Each structure stands twice: as C-alpha cells, then as structure tokens.
Chains A and B, each alone.
Chain A
Amino acid sequence: MSTDMSSPSSTFPMVKSLKQAGFVGMVMFGLCVPIVAFRAEQNMNNELVLQSRWWLTLVFSVLAMIGSFLLSLYTHQKSHTAHSSAPSSVTKALSALAPRLTPLGFACVIAYPMVMLAINGPGGSIKWIDNFGIQILIYVMLGWGLNIVVGLAGLLDLGYVAFYAVGAYAYALIATKVIPDTFPELGFWSFWICLPISGLLAALWGIILGFPVLRLRGDYLAIVTLAFGEIIRLVLINWVDFSNGYAGLSSIPRPSFFGIPFNASEEGFAAVFDLEFSPIYRTIFLYYVILALSLLTAFVTIRLRRLPIGRAWEALREDEIACRSLGINTTITKLTAFAIGAGFGGFAGCFFAARQGFISPESFVFLESAQILAIVVLGGMGSLFGVVVASIALVGGIEILRELDFLKQVFGEAFDPSQYRMLIFGFAMVLMMLWKPRGLIAHREPSIVYKEKKSIGSDMVQEGHG
C-alpha cells in the first residue's frame, strides 16, 4: 500500500479497493442480519409474524460496498492532488462556466414556465412552476439579500427572517386593513403599492435593529440578531390585536396583472385577454414577478459592489481597523449593508404573503434564517452564482424528495423520502465543510480591473468578524 501511495505516477489500486469494498459489504451484511433482516409485524388476526427482509439487507450491503469503493477512489485522487495548489476540477469547471452560463441561465429561467406548461399541461405544471420555480427564486432572492450582509460586509446575521416577516406582515396588514378602509378603489393595485412600502419598512427595521447592535462583533452580533428574529416572531404571536397571533392573517389580496385581477369574472385576466380561465396564469405571472425582483436584487448588488459603498463593505469584512484609519465611518457603512439587505428581505416577504394568501408566525421560524444562511455559506461568501446553485440544491433538492415515488418500490410503501430531508441536509453540510469549507464558489472577483482580471483565492479573503 505504501509503495502505491508514495509513487506519484501510481495507478488506482483496483483489486485492493474492490477487496476492501467486499469486506465492508460483508461487515455491513453481518451487522444488518440482526437489525434489519427480520421484522416482527402484526397480521390481520393480531398475531405477530416474523417477516424476513433479505432484499433490504442486501441493498444496505451493496450501498456500503459502493460507498467504500468511492471513498478509496476519492482518497487516492486526493493524495495525488494534495501537493498541487491548483483548485479542484469541480471548482475550475464551475468558475469557468460562470460567465458563459449567464445568458444561458437567463434563457432557461425565462423559458422555464413555458416549457413546463408545454410538457405537463396547465393542470400538471402548477406544481413545477410554484413548488420549484417560485420557491427556489424566493430563496435565491433572500440569499442574495443576505449575501450583502454576510457575504460582502461580513456581518453574521442569524435573524434575517425577521425582515422577511416584516415585509410579509406589512403587505398583509396594509392590504387587508388599511387599503380597503381608505382607498377601496385601489384594491387591485395593493400589491404594487405595498411592495415598495414593505421593502422600506423592512429596511427601516434593519436600521432600528442595526443601530444598537452593530457595536457588537462576531459571535455576539450573531446571538443578538438571532434574538431579534425571535422577538419579532414572538411579538407577532402574542400581539393578537395587531397580527392575529398564531391564527395568522388570511385572505390577503393576490397580486393583479397591473390592475387586472386573476379571477373568473368579466374583468379578470382570462376574460380580458380572451383566454380560458385557469389558475395557471397567476402562477406564471407570480413566477415572473419574483424573477424580476430577484434580478433587481442581483443588479443592485452587482452595481453596489463596484461603487465605493460596496468596496467599503468588503474592506470592512477584510479589516475594520484599517477602514477606520482611512476615514470610513464604519457604523454607517454597516448600517447601509444591514438596511439594504433587510430591504430585499422585505420585498421577498411582501411577495411571499401575496403568493400564499395566508401568513402566520409559523412561516418565520429560526430554521428559515438558518436555511437562508446555509444557502449563502454553501454558495460561497459573496458569490451570486453560488447562491443560485445552493438554492437549487437545498430548496429544489428537498422538493424533489417528494417526487421520488420509485423509492417506495425499493423500501416499501411506508417509506417517505421527504422525511429524510433534515438528515440529508445535515449530511450535505458536513460534507461541504470537509470538502469546500469556503463554499462552492470559493474565490472573489475583483470589483475593478486595471489590466488583467485575476480572481482571488479564498485563502486570502477574510470571512469578517464584525
């Protein structure tokens, strides 16, 4: 073994790995016999019957064998690439693809609902557009919003969902209570009126929270933002007069097509455009609304990164003391990052409320914050493209578990793959921490180029302690 590993040109030890895999499979089989192979079940007559499940035992053993083989393949490759400092092939491929992917990606996301409609028809495609398209795009937008705070400015915010909640409740309350009482004729426009208001309110809350909190740094900041997220949720639960508590707010107006509602009436979208009424139009429209909002977030982020404020955020992440010595007001710079990130969270919240038609504090638990943060960290701090990949993997991946019906044929009727989502999620996180601790896109693109663009490796870029 040692000779195989030490010589640089050594080939992969196939026989040895296969032997090892076989051994692991046998051990697994041996372990599974007492645990998995037999199962006592009640039959119709309330008698206990011993069922044998040899096929399942076999599946586990084969999985263990494959796992063992892949592991030795991986360690073999790693021992050969460990000495070269070049980034791994996956990273290289991803970063080389990133610029070329942009136009292709645009075409894909714009065509996506149409393609789904063509494949699955109006009835079957709602699931694909809504559960996959819209759901992923909401998280992409939240990820991009949080990316400004965590990825660029390096401020660890564990309570981002609070601003999402502020946006959602702002829309729900204004659209159900304020607008019908004051300007009932604006009813169909309420989403478009409330969208900027929700964003501004969330940004305002970002500033209100940020002011006392941004004196803290690192872990302390994370704890306080976490607490703030919980406070907002607890207020929403307990201030029943204001937010209707656990029961939440329902019959929130749906967005209109710029004043034309999506309903079956004479003035409805279908009637106006001479189409057969179907709920699919609204879903497609919502898809394009969240797409436009996400692109706005991306556009603003890309622009801000090249402006002095964006550079100051990144400088703040790199070294706060040096920033102060260069005349940068760090408090205001942190506050703007907090407020702008919160504002985009508010937009997304407003959209969320309009899409669901019903919101309750249950939608804004800490797990949401954790998931958004996981998307940002997994994607690579500061990388917009990484956030998209991570959202598709995390949100889309969890959704796709519901679609894996064929697994029931392997593991039996009672097997529900979506129950394993947290396990898979955690496992994926552990793997990422081992394999790519700085995220999928672990390099930084410079904001200005003099002669030749060189991306900066993650070993150089700081994570921020502010």
Chain B
Amino acid sequence: MTTISSMPLLQVEHLTMRFGGLVAVGDLSFDVARGQITALIGPNGAGKTTVFNCITGFYKPTEGRLTLNHDANHHYLLERLPDHDINWKARVARTFQNIRLFQGMTVLENLLVAQHNTLMRASGYSLLGLFNAKSYRDQADLALQKALHWLERIHLLDRADDAAGDLPYGDQRRLEIARAMCTDPLLLCLDEPAAGLNPKESLELNTLLTGIRDEGKTSLLLIEHDMSVVMTISDHVVVLDYGVKIADGTPDAVRNDPKVIAAYLGVDDDEVAEVEAEVGL
C-alpha cells in the first residue's frame, strides 16, 4: 500500500513535441501526485495546451513517455493508447479551453453521453436495450442518478432540460467539468477552467475543484492564467516557458522564483545588460 500512495499518478518523462521545426514542448518531465491539484502555468504560447493534448491523446508526442499508474500493477502508457481509450481505460478526462459542450443536446443528455461506455455495455451493445431489458433499465437509472447528482453539485438541476448552448458562460464551464467527472476519471485535466468567469463564479469554481480533490478519487491537473485560482487551490505548480520547465514546486516557492518572475514580468534592464555581456553583444 505504501508504494501506491507514494507513486505519482501521472509521470511525464522527457516529453517533447515538435511541429515541423518548432519545438512546442522540449524535454519536459514532471509528476502529478495522487490526490492533489497540480497547476501548469506559463505565459501565452508556453506549450501548456500542447502538454494537455499529449496527455489526453489528441497529439502523439514526438518523444517521451507518459505513464499513468492506477496501482502498483496497472500502468498505462498514454502515448500508446488511442484517445478514446485514454478516457475509458486509463481514466483521464479533460475539458477544453474553448468550451466543447454538445450544444444542441440538453444538459442532462450531455452528462449521459459522458457515461456512454458503461451504458453501452449495460445495453448489450444496444441489443438488450432495444428490447428494454431490465438489466439495462437499472443501469440507465443509475446513470441518471449520477447525472442528477452532478447537476445538483454544480447547481444546474433546474436547468436539466435546457439546451446546453442556452446556458450562460459560467454554467457551461461548470457543466463541462461535471461532464468530464461523469466518466469517473482518476485524473481530471482542466484547460483554463476559470477563463471568462467573474470573481464570484471563480470562487464557486474553487470550491468545486477543491471538493473534487478532497473526495480523494480524482486528482487534478489544470492550466490556468488566473493566479488567484492557481495560488489558492493548487498543491503543486509547474511553470513552463517556451516549452521548457523553469520551475516546479509549491505555490509559495514558485511565486518567489526569480525565473518565474522574469518569465511573467520580463527582466530588468540591468539583467538584460548582464545577459548581453555574457553573449558578447
């Protein structure tokens, strides 16, 4: 048991992603610890979303290894799995920077689509379901209960029958998180969950995310620009700049790291002179 808890949930080792001549991510290694919120931050274009796309299978990394450890005996090499198996077998769920809900389907339907594989199996790949077998009905009922549980949690129960595209922006963000959570993930990857939220919604989001963490089943990895969110809720912060890791540690340690400050705020003029002297300009 001790080995399981000490083993990180996700190990990213020497991840490199090149698009032609452009190195979007270069030799990046970090761990996502079990039961924690890990934040991936960095200036625009630092390669955060690329890392996400590699983890969730939308890109195949050029080099490197992504290991997801379920327990001491079950490991998944994410770079080798097709994207749908990364969710279904390795249990990694994600949300998107520009929200990708099924806008023409109701809020409730969105959450049921997320339970597709479980329900598909219960419906005997539609054969039992076609005849409305009891085993399927029971499972469908469970799926509905789970969807309603999440709707209650994100305070959208009274909008269950509305089209997802009709929801206000903040609700859509939370619905996307609920939809990802309906797949029972071990690792939930959130791509800028607080983007476009007002301070009140941002606070609600913090409660939701820390709640998910404290239940202990799901660990979180998030990309975020909103430093109030990052510094309040994350247990561990990884900072990227130009595809390279420049800092890795607790929020406090990262906040005071001169490299991070330089990456975000730029360097002082005298430091530029120092660098120029080194290079020989």
Contact = CB atoms under 8 A, between A and B. Distances in A.
Interface of A: 300, 303-304, 307-309, 311-312, 314-315, 317-319, 321-330, 336, 444, 446-454, 456-457, 460-462
Given A312-B116, A444-B104, A329 B84 contact: yes
A460 B130 contact: no
Closest 6 pairs between A and B when the two form their complex, measured CB to CB: A461-B104, A327-B87, A327-B88, A318-B102, A308-B119, A450-B160
B109 interface: yes
A451 B109 CA distance: 13
Contacts of B114: 326
Contact of B100 (A319, A327, A444, A449): A319
B103 to A, nearest CB: 5
Contacts of A462: 103-104
B104 A328 contact: no
A211 to B, nearest CB: 16
11 contacts: A300-B130, A307-B126, A307-B129, A308-B116, A311-B109, A322-B101, A325-B83, A325-B87, A448-B112, A460-B103, A460-B163
Interface string B110-133: 001111110110010110011010
A242 B93 CA distance: 52
B130 A446 contact: no
B64 interface: no
Contacts of B101: 319, 322
Given A314-B102, A321-B100, A456-B104, 7 more contacts: A315-B113, A324-B57, A327-B87, A327-B116, A444-B104, A452-B161, A460-B163
B60 to A, nearest CB: 14
Given A300-B130, A448-B109, A454 B94 contact: no
B161 A451 contact: yes
Contacts of B96: 321-322, 325
Nearest to A462: B104
B167 to A, nearest CB: 11
Instruction: Select the residue from B56, B96, B116 with max chain A CB neighbours within 10 A.
Output: B116
B156 to A, nearest CB: 11
A457 B104 CA distance: 8
B252 interface: no
B100 A460 contact: no
A326 B179 contact: yes
Contacts, number: 139
B148 interface: yes
Contact of A328 (B58, B117, B125, B148): B117
A337 to B, nearest CB: 12
B85 interface: yes
Nearest to A329: B84
Given A319-B100, A322-B102, A447 B56 contact: no
B105 interface: yes
A307 B116 contact: no
Contact of B166 (A328, A449, A460): A460
B126 A448 contact: no
B112 A311 contact: yes
Nearest to A309: B126
A336 B125 CA distance: 10
A328 B112 CA distance: 12
Contacts of A311: 105, 109, 112-113, 116
B165 interface: yes
Interface in B52-104: 56-58, 82-88, 93-94, 96, 100-104
Contacts of B129: 303, 307-309
Contacts of A318: 102-105
Contacts of B160: 450-451
Interface in B138-172: 144, 148, 158, 160-163, 165-166
Given A303-B129, A309-B120, A309-B126, A330 B84 contact: yes
B55 to A, nearest CB: 11
A452 B105 CA distance: 14
Nearest to A303: B130
Nearest to A328: B116
A144 to B, nearest CB: 16
Nearest to B182: A326
